Amino acid sequence: MTKVHPNLNPEIPSDSEEFNCGKGSGEAEVLTVWRKSLLFNGHGFTVFDPKGNLLFRVDNYASESKGEIVLMDAAGKPLLTIRRKKLSLSEHWAVYMGECRTGQPLFSVKRNIRPLQKKNLLDITTAGPASLSHLYVEGSYSRRCCSVIDDSRREVATVKCKELPAGSGVAFGRDVFRLVVEPGFDPARAMAIVILLDQIFKR
């Protein structure tokens, strides 16, 4: 099995060396997402920063019946709590700070069901600056090729397949991919959106 963690396999360059998604300045943060929990060796997410250090983790992914997922930092501190809203006509989720489960969410996410806007996968309403009051996800998560876009059509985060140089002899499946986060957008929020894409479209 191919090792995902760049620091544990010297033959796999870190994303900071092999890939620059910034506009000529390397400002974008390129994370490696592994769709697996290292703690339980099963369902979950493990996310590495460009240097190969553990950044985020999700270990309670198997508890899908509870409709709640917690995104943690490397030490296990809850960063965001993702909860599915009950009694909604379409899939509707809310994301809260830390372990908070009530009150005003940081942002809410709905699956797009409008037939005239099929390219939109998710509609996101945030509580942030006016320029980010609404976000949209376009593309194909199953192909690991989709983008989070703001009202001005600017990409703030992108999911991409993880590719390595030709001849490296290393191949990754769809359980390992990149999350490219542009400057000014919170990587934790970007990862929460990825988790929701996986929840809604994994089947």
Q: What does 132-194 look like in DSSP terms, one character per residue?
A: GSEEEEEEETTTTEEEEEETTS-EEEEEEE----TTS-----TTEEEEEE-TTS-HHHHHHHH
Which tens digit of pLDDT belongs to each residue from 75-98? 999 999 999 987 766 688 999 999
Mean pLDDT of 176-194: 96
Asked if the model's pLDDT at residue 193 lies above 70, the reply is: yes
Q: Which of 19-23, 30-34, 60-64 has the highest mean pLDDT?
A: 30-34
pLDDT at 3: 57
Res. 202 pLDDT band, cuts 50 70 90: confident
Tokens describing residue 8: 């544990």
> In angstroms, rounded to a whole number, what is the distance separating the alpha carbons of residues 108 and 95?
6
Q: What is the pLDDT of residues 106-159, one digit of tens each?
A: 999 999 876 556 678 999 998 766 555 899 999 999 999 999 999 899 999 999
Q: Report how far residue 67's alpha carbon sits from residue 105's, in angstroms, rounded to the nearest whole number.
A: 16
Which pair of structure tokens corresponds to residue 171? 């191949």
Predicted local confidence at residue 37, as pLDDT: 86
Q: Is the pLDDT of residue 5 over 80?
A: no
